[in-house]
């Protein structure tokens, strides 16, 4: 573990953040897919709206604009609660309906009910009596496992459970909070950027290797490498089921699910989402679960998790994608207890970003970094190895 003394003038940096929207780091190969693919995106701006004044000149309660949309010219008539639910991440139709009944959804300046049908070129605003939540980049003394550092970049082994950057519901304790404590003047796209130095990210409950840029030039070149797929990334995943083959490739566009906007789905026909390719190779077979190596050609949100769920091999204990149930094995009570114990030992999806390889953005020297899975994943792998050996002896 490496700790660093904070800079003398290390102070928080603020950004206005919509409390109803969780921002995501863009895919290394492009922006994440937006709702209603195939249509033009609604214009979306955020800012403050001054409250009206009454006849006596006293200002009424100030309303703050949290979302602003201009309906596309080709949009058909659609209930406004459905229209907004498809465009606001982490929203629910119930919350939108409550906001409408409270008079907080305005169309062309007038409050509307949840069943209002949007029309082309309508201007929609969601206003609240409180300002958008401010995100303050507060330096926090959180230890980092640093594998490599020079004047241009940092390689870390991120622990499982750590969110990469602040967002809705995670305002502290993130990797970025630790980075701004340990490192001064990390590059930022602008003053409102809450992701200094980041060029990619991995999920909260995924452990493993990440690269952080220390300079603007390094950040720009690393981002280009991700875009042109010049960075080698290998993950290890424990998935349900066995495979007939030793290796294979999963192809299928990935985009937000049309049924649940909080998860990603695979669209084999390419009608939604963005192209995604995952190559895999079997490393160890344990009968009912398999350890696989995954090599990414693209870097879509939840790519490995969504792809393996699509081929009916969800990651072990992946609650979001259906891997938190016993999907293979026997009906014996001892086996059920064994799997339950494994779930308790590894209370997250079994995924580790094991290696990262690329040319140094400044010197051009080839770099390669490797890391071992987190202790909880190693412990579960050891349990399954023991189970597989015991099962093999019983069958002889």
Give the residue numbers marked as catalytic. Answer: 203
Measured distance CA(109)–CA(303) in Å, rounded: 41
Torsional class of 36: left (φ above 0), alpha (ψ -120 to 50), beta (otherwise): left
């Amino acid at each position: 573990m490496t700790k660093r003394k904070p800079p003398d003038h290390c102070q928080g940096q603020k950004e206005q953040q919509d409390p109803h929207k969780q921002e995501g780091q863009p895919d290394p190969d492009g922006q994440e897919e937006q709702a209603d693919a195939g249509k033009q995106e609604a214009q979306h701006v955020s800012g403050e709206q001054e409250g009206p004044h009454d006849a006596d000149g006293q200002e009424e309660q100030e309303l703050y604009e949290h979302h602003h949309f201009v309906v596309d010219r080709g949009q058909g008539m659609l209930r406004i609660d459905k229209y907004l639910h498809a465009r606001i991440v982490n929203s629910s139709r119930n919350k939108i309906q409550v906001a409408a009944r409270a008079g907080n959804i305005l169309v062309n300046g007038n409050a509307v009910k949840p069943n209002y049908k949007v029309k082309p070129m309508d201007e929609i605003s969601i206003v609240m009596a409180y300002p958008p939540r401010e995100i303050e980049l507060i330096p926090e003394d959180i230890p980092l496992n640093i594998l490599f550092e020079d004047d241009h970049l940092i390689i870390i082994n991120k622990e499982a459970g750590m969110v990469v950057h602040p967002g809705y519901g995670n305002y502290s304790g993130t990797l970025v909070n630790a980075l701004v404590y340990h490192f001064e003047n990390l590059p930022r796209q602008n003053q409102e950027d809450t992701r200094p130095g980041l060029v990619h990210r991995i999920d909260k409950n995924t452990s493993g290797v990440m690269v952080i840029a220390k300079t603007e030039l390094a950040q720009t070149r690393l981002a280009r490498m991700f875009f042109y797929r010049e960075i080698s990334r290998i993950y290890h995943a424990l998935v349900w089921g066995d495979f007939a083959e030793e290796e294979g490739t999963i192809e299928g566009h990935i985009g937000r699910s049309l049924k649940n906007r909080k998860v990603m789905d695979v669209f084999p026909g390419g009608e939604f989402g963005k192209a995604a390719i995952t190559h895999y190779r079997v490393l160890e077979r344990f009968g009912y679960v398999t350890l696989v190596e995954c090599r990414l050609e693209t870097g879509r949100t939840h790519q490995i998790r969504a792809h393996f769920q699509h081929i009916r091999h969800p990651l072990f204990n992946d609650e979001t994608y259906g891997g938190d149930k016993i999907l293979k094995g026997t009906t014996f009570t001892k086996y059920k207890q064994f799997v339950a114990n494994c779930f308790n030992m590894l209370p997250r999806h079994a995924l580790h970003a094991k290696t990262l390889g690329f040319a140094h953005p400044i010197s051009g020297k080839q770099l390669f970094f490797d890391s071992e899975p987190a202790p909880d994943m190693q412990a579960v792998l050891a349990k399954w190895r023991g189970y597989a050996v015991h099962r093999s002896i019983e069958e002889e």
